[in-house]
Amino acid sequence: MVGGVRPFLTGYLQPDAVVFLELNLENAGRDQLNGVDLADTGGWELFLSPGLFATYRNVALRKGVQIPDAENLNSCQPVSDYRFKFEIKYTF
């Protein structure tokens, strides 16, 4: 689920930015080895993810962070820490 806001309206050939907020859910089943479920695997994690999407002509920049909010992991597993993402895209 995602929502975004364009703080400044710009022309077609001008730099543009969108600030967004995502809600990400990761859900995984238990792993198996030789048909037997492994104990410390599977579960779900929920992340709150603010970010920025900026474009200028053929170049797009997307950056953000995933902040762990809730989890229900099976057995004894380490919980996730913050995750950062930085992406540059050039379109020909």
- Mean pLDDT, residues 10-14 taken together: 87
With contact defined as beta carbons under 8 Å apart, do 4 and 16 qualify?
Answer: no
Q: Give CA–CA dist 45/79, Å, rounded.
A: 8
With contact defined as beta carbons under 8 Å apart, do 74 and 43 qualify?
Answer: yes
DSSP state of 31: P
Read off the pLDDT of residues 29-80 as tens digits, 9 standing for 90 and up.
888 899 888 888 899 999 999 999 999 989 999 999 999 999 999 888 888 8
At residue 65, the pLDDT reads: 97
pTM over 0.85: no
At residue 62, the pLDDT reads: 96
In this structure, what token pair is assigned to residue 40? 């410390």
Q: Give CA–CA dist 78/92, Å, rounded.
A: 42
